């Protein structure tokens, strides 16, 4: 999902004074007043055009602050043009080996004076959601870790980002601590005590210590409720995400494997009990392992285990029973009868055993023991689920397999071990949650979007530390690799999943590739908290909804789409660089983008589930996000403009032609037109090749001439029956539009016009942000205005919908009721991808859906790659031309350029 443009929301406890006049000040103060806690607020003396800045809280630059839009509004938007710093706060978990940081940042998005948005909000009754009651929403949560022995790097990072300056006070607002007072940061873990003085000395902050167990549980509860793909099973190298029903989460057993092991029965939020534990944990593995193998680090020890064969040192059932199973009690010959048991009967010294074998034997001994005790405790309390977390696991495939095997073995397949993607961050997240009233615990799954910035493929392994924030930093980072001549494929390779070992009694089947010892670091993105996102209300069964049609867990499929995207890359970079004027800077960014995206692909090829459950839509979105990260805002801008102009020039002729037809022929021609015009897709290799062969209009004509029914999927007659055979027109249709140019101008707009003519309100649903050559919601009003010049139906409807400037004046006058037409409106969909995940859409779209009884999804991305199997509460028409041979074969047993017209009446 793309980052939505948010209205800026002023941090409420910032003391401000501007020179820009009382009006703004009053508005801001009003805002503060509404939030309630300004009674004892000190007012700073006006100093220049500045603000009172307290040393221990984030600084808002209110210079040139201005009210946007109507200053009479109860809740005016205030633009802070000079405010650029992230507003942040932070919580820590300082463990023996790692320091985990969770910090929040909110960059104030600049509002765009988008009148369409304002009118549509009025019309559809969209509110600002619930963000007013939650001070921190609308920002991002970052997860970073450092090695504890490098605590100074961590302190430098906190200081450079000024994370220590913004805590949250007891009202839940960013803290407003007077300059001479201590700022307080929530912290958990032993280091919160050990390093308290150091934090005081270096940063002038006090650490407010939170109980570790409380934090673990709070962190786990939040993750399990708020992150869709948080929990997974890991058996025999195969990772599978488990959908947790929020209403059926409790009770569960949380097993935290640190140096020692805690087993916590969690009954509800804040209600838990440490029911058991074991002193044989991660510390035991590392301690014994270090003594026995002379390994220098935990990671090295884990890595050794990957190449070990524990049969040389463990006593197996077969060793006792002369190679036979002890079948009477169900033990196979390869079952470990006694860990390290062989060492007693052999005349070998420590040096005679391979460190690899010792490490594996130890790992199994400890993991099995933990798995067994955990299961027994789950059994003791009748708990169905066991979640494992803690630094011992650190995303290590073989460790997870071993624990899973033990739970499976002892429970005779009744119980399953589950792991958490954010396992290392439970404590830090819990400490963050302990700030009061931040609203985080009220967030719903659909309001969280996880993104993986460029750093994601690189920041694992031995590299701990800050994500690369600044664009220049990122590019330099890439260039460093180029200079070194290092091929950037995910640089810390691990054995491909599936070969990570059986975890059972066999030896690991990994072929000895280097282990990514800290893979968990890579599996954690930045969590964007977007309170305005909603579940699309017309989904028939939101719980069962799965946006992706193509299952990328099929390796062939994965390989195919990765190749398609890799091959498309040079062309995309050319377009992106050209869209930014082809400057040296643009070339440098283009190059960095290509490398970053390739690295993501390589990382995902190696471990498809690294970023959560992977579908084709995620890959296509990742590409757009990656472009935006390197500041390519609209790579196809000029192509879109050119195609819009060419298509608008022939629109009047097309409309005339349509108007001369009978109703029935016209409806067919219109649907044909949509399908034919969907050929303008700059994301399809085949189509782009085609564009060299003629002008836009020639290609459009060719495509229309080739239209032949029956289409490969052809429900047109049923649709026609509903449209023409039913005297009652649809009340409101949502048209999910796709590409710019002919697609929107000659395809979807004429279809919209037909619906309007029949008395159906039409809402054009378009992307919030650019993706390939897709038309955006921002671009649509101009296109509609151009088209309306040639068409009365469109003009009146657009006026009624507030899309034309004159109409807006009417609307503001309150004269919309006098309009003689049903409205044509535009809403943004909340995303910036060629596909759409209907679990996370804009509040505008959700509001527009309330009265809709027909939805039309158009294009491969929205109707085939995603939503092909989606069911809706209202009538749905899915229209697309299949511009990829493989997809055509797979989805509709057809061939490239076949068409889909799937009509599904309300279910």
Ligand X SMILES: CC(C)(COP(=O)(O)O)[C@@H](O)C(=O)NCCC(=O)O
Residues forming contacts to Mn ion in the complex (CB under 5 A) are: 738-739, 774, 834, 859
Q: Which is nearer to Mn ion, 503 or 770 (CB)?
A: 770
The candidate with the shortest Cα–Cα distance to 699, out of 739, 743, 750, 659, is 743
189 binds, among ligand X, Mn ion, none (CB under 5 to 8 A by kind): none
643 binds, among Mn ion, ligand X, none (CB under 5 to 8 A by kind): none
Q: Which is nearer to Mn ion, 212 or 774 (CB)?
A: 774
**Closest distance of CB 568 from ligand X, Å:** 6
**Closest distance of CB 624 from ligand X, Å:** 10
Position with the least CB separation from ligand X? 683
**Closest distance of CB 550 from ligand X, Å:** 10
Q: Which is nearer to ligand X, 343 or 576 (CB)?
A: 576
Q: Which is nearer to ligand X, 487 or 571 (CB)?
A: 571
Can you read off the two tokens belonging to residue 143?
């997860």
**Closest distance of CB 548 from ligand X, Å:** 12
Q: For residue 612, is it left (φ>0), alpha (ψ between -120 and 50) or beta?
A: left
**Closest distance of CB 690 from ligand X, Å:** 11
Query: Distance of alpha carbon 712 from its chain centroid, rounded?
Result: 34
| In 167-315, alpha helices (H) | 191-194, 196-203, 212-226, 282-293, 298-305
**C-beta neighbour count of 555 within 10 angstroms:** 12
**Closest distance of CB 670 from ligand X, Å:** 18
Overall size of the chain counted in residues: 907
- The residue whose two tokens read 């993706």 is 771
* Distance from C-alpha of 212 to C-alpha of 95, rounded to nearest angstrom: 10
* Distance from C-alpha of 107 to C-alpha of 435, rounded to nearest angstrom: 20
Which of helix, strand or coil describes residue 649? Answer: helix
Can you read off the two tokens belonging to residue 197?
């003085």
Q: Which is nearer to Mn ion, 367 or 739 (CB)?
A: 739
Query: Distance of alpha carbon 464 from its chain centroid, rounded?
Result: 22
**Closest distance of CB 564 from ligand X, Å:** 5
236 binds, among ligand X, Mn ion, none (CB under 5 to 8 A by kind): none
685 binds, among ligand X, Mn ion, none (CB under 5 to 8 A by kind): ligand X
- Residues forming beta bridges with residue 672, ordered by sequence position: none
**Closest distance of CB 729 from Mn ion, Å:** 28
Helix (H) / strand (E) element for 199: namely helix 196-203
Can you read off the two tokens belonging to residue 83?
């405010």
**Closest distance of CB 773 from ligand X, Å:** 7
Decide: 169 and 208 in contact? Cβ < 8 Å.
no
**Closest distance of CB 91 from ligand X, Å:** 40
CA distances for 666 relative to 302, 309, 322, 672, 893, angstroms: 69, 73, 83, 10, 29
Query: Where do contacts with ligand X occur on this chain (CB under 6 A)?
Result: 564, 620, 678, 681, 683-686, 738-739, 772, 834, 859-861, 865, 880, 883-884
Q: Which is nearer to ligand X, 333 or 635 (CB)?
A: 635
860 binds, among ligand X, Mn ion, none (CB under 5 to 8 A by kind): ligand X
Can you read off the two tokens belonging to residue 484?
């070194």
* Distance from C-alpha of 111 to C-alpha of 469, rounded to nearest angstrom: 22
DSSP string, 60-97: ---TT-EEES-TTSSS-EEE-TT--SPEEEEEEEE-SS
Q: Which is nearer to Mn ion, 326 or 691 (CB)?
A: 691
Q: Which is nearer to Mn ion, 774 or 844 (CB)?
A: 774
* Distance from C-alpha of 884 to C-alpha of 859, rounded to nearest angstrom: 12
684 binds, among ligand X, Mn ion, none (CB under 5 to 8 A by kind): ligand X
Q: Which is nearer to ligand X, 403 or 752 (CB)?
A: 752
Q: Which is nearer to ligand X, 172 or 861 (CB)?
A: 861
Q: Which is nearer to Mn ion, 97 or 833 (CB)?
A: 833
Query: Is the alpha carbon torsion for 309, 310, 313, 316 positive or negative?
Result: negative
Q: Which is nearer to ligand X, 244 or 887 (CB)?
A: 887
**Closest distance of CB 685 from ligand X, Å:** 4
CB burial of residue 662 (10 Å; 0-12, 13-18, 19+): exposed
- The residue whose two tokens read 């949380």 is 254
35 binds, among Mn ion, ligand X, none (CB under 5 to 8 A by kind): none
CA angle 209, 210, 215 (to 5 degrees): 150
**Closest distance of CB 696 from ligand X, Å:** 15
Query: Is the alpha carbon torsion for 830, 833, 834, 838 positive or negative?
Result: negative
Helix (H) / strand (E) element for 252: namely strand 252-257
Q: Which is nearer to ligand X, 312 or 773 (CB)?
A: 773
**Closest distance of CB 1 from ligand X, Å:** 16
Helix (H) / strand (E) element for 368: namely helix 355-381
Helix (H) / strand (E) element for 686: namely helix 685-691
308 binds, among Mn ion, ligand X, none (CB under 5 to 8 A by kind): none
166 binds, among Mn ion, ligand X, none (CB under 5 to 8 A by kind): none
In 590-743, DSSP assigns E strands to 713-714, 732-736
875 binds, among ligand X, Mn ion, none (CB under 5 to 8 A by kind): none
Helix, strand and coil in the chain, % to nearest 5: 40, 15, 40
């Amino acid at each position: 999902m793309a980052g939505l443009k948010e209205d800026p929301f002023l941090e409420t406890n910032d003391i401000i004074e501007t020179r820009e006049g009382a009006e703004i000040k009053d508005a801001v103060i009003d805002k503060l007043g509404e939030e309630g806690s300004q009674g004892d607020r000190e007012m700073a003396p006006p100093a220049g055009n500045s603000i009172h800045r307290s040393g221990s809280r984030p600084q808002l630059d209110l210079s040139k602050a201005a009210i946007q839009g109507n200053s009479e509004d109860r809740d005016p938007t205030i633009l802070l043009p000079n405010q650029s710093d992230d507003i942040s706060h932070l919580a820590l978990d300082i463990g023996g080996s790692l320091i985990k940081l969770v910090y929040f940042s909110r960059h104030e998005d600049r509002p765009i004076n988008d009148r369409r948005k304002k009118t549509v909000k009025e019309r559809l009754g969209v509110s600002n959601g619930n963000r007013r009651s939650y001070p921190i929403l609308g920002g991002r949560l970052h997860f970073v870790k450092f090695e504890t022995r490098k605590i100074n790097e961590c302190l430098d990072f906190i200081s450079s980002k000024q994370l220590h300056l913004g805590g949250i006070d007891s009202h839940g607002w960013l803290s407003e601590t007077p300059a001479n007072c201590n700022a307080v940061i929530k912290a958990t873990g032993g280091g919160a005590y050990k390093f308290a003085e150091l934090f005081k000395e270096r940063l002038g902050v006090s650490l407010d210590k939170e109980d570790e167990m409380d934090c673990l549980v709070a962190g786990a509860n939040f993750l399990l409720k708020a992150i869709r793909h948080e929990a997974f099973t890991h058996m025999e190298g195969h990772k599978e995400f488990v959908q947790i029903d929020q209403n059926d989460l409790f009770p569960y057993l949380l097993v935290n494997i640190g140096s020692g092991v805690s087993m916590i029965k969690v009954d509800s939020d804040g209600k838990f009990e440490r029911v058991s534990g074991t002193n044989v944990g991660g510390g035991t593995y590392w301690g014994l392992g270090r003594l026995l193998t002379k390994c220098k680090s935990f990671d090295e020890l884990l890595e050794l285990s990957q190449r070990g064969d524990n049969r040389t040192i463990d006593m197996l059932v077969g060793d006792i029973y002369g190679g036979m199973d002890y079948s009477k009690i169900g033990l196979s010959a390869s079952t470990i009868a006694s860990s390290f048991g062989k060492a007693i009967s052999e005349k070998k010294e420590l040096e005679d055993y391979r460190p690899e074998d010792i490490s594996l034997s130890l790992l199994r001994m400890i993991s099995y023991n933990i798995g067994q005790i955990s299961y027994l405790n789950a059994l003791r309390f009748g708990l169905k689920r066991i979640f494992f977390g803690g630094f011992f696991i650190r995303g290590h495939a073989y460790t997870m397999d071993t624990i899973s095997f033990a739970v499976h073995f002892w429970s005779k397949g009744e119980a399953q071990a589950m792991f958490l993607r954010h396992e290392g961050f439970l404590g830090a997240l819990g400490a963050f949650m302990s700030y009061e009233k931040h609203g985080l615990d009220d967030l719903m799954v659909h309001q969280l979007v996880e993104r993986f910035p460029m750093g994601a493929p690189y920041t694992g392994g031995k590299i701990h530390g800050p994500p690369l924030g600044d664009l220049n930093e990122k590019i330099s980072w890439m260039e460093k690799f180029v200079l070194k001549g290092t091929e950037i494929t995910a640089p810390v390779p691990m054995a491909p999943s599936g070969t990570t070992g059986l975890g059972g009694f066999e030896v690991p089947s990994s072929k000895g590739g280097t282990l990514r010892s800290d893979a968990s670091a890579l599996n954690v993105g930045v969590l964007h908290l977007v309170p305005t996102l909603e579940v699309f209300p017309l989904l028939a069964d939101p719980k069962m909804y799965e946006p992706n049609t193509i299952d990328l867990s099929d390796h062939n499929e994965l390989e195919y789409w990765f190749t398609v995207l890799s091959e498309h890359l040079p062309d995309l970079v050319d377009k992106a660089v050209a869209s930014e004027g082809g400057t040296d800077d643009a070339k440098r960014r283009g190059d960095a983008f290509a490398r970053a995206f390739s690295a993501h692909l390589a990382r995902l090829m190696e471990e498809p589930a690294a970023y959560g459950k992977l579908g084709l839509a995620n890959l296509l979105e990742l590409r757009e996000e990656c472009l935006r990260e390197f500041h390519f805002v609209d790579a196809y801008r000029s192509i879109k403009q050119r195609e819009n102009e060419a298509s608008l020039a022939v629109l009047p002729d097309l409309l005339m032609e349509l108007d001369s037809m009978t109703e029935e022929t016209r409806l067919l021609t219109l649907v044909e037109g949509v399908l034919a015009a969907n050929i303008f897709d700059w994301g399809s290799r085949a189509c782009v090749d085609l564009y060299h062969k003629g002008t836009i209009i020639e290609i459009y004509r060719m495509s229309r001439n080739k239209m032949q029914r029956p289409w490969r999927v052809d429900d047109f007659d049923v649709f026609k029956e509903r449209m023409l055979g039913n005297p009652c027109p649809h009340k409101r249709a949502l048209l999910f539009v796709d590409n710019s140019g002919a697609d929107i101008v000659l395809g979807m707009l004429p279809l919209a016009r037909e619906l309007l003519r029949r008395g159906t309100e039409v809402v054009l649903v378009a992307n919030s942000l650019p993706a390939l050559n897709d038309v955006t919601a921002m671009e649509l009003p101009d296109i509609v205005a151009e088209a309306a010049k040639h068409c009365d139906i469109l003009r009146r409807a657009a006026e009624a919908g507030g899309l034309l400037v004159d109409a807006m004046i009417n609307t503001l006058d309150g004269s919309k009721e006098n309009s003689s037409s049903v409205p044509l409106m535009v809403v943004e969909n909340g995303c910036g991808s060629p596909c759409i995940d209907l679990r996370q859409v804009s509040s505008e779209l959700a509001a527009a859906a309330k009265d809709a009884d027909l939805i039309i999804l158009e294009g491969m991305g929205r109707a085939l790659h995603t939503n092909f199997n989606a069911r809706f509460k209202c009538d749905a028409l899915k229209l697309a031309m299949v511009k990829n041979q493989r997809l055509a074969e797979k989805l509709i047993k057809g061939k490239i350029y076949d068409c889909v017209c799937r009509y599904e009446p309300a279910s």
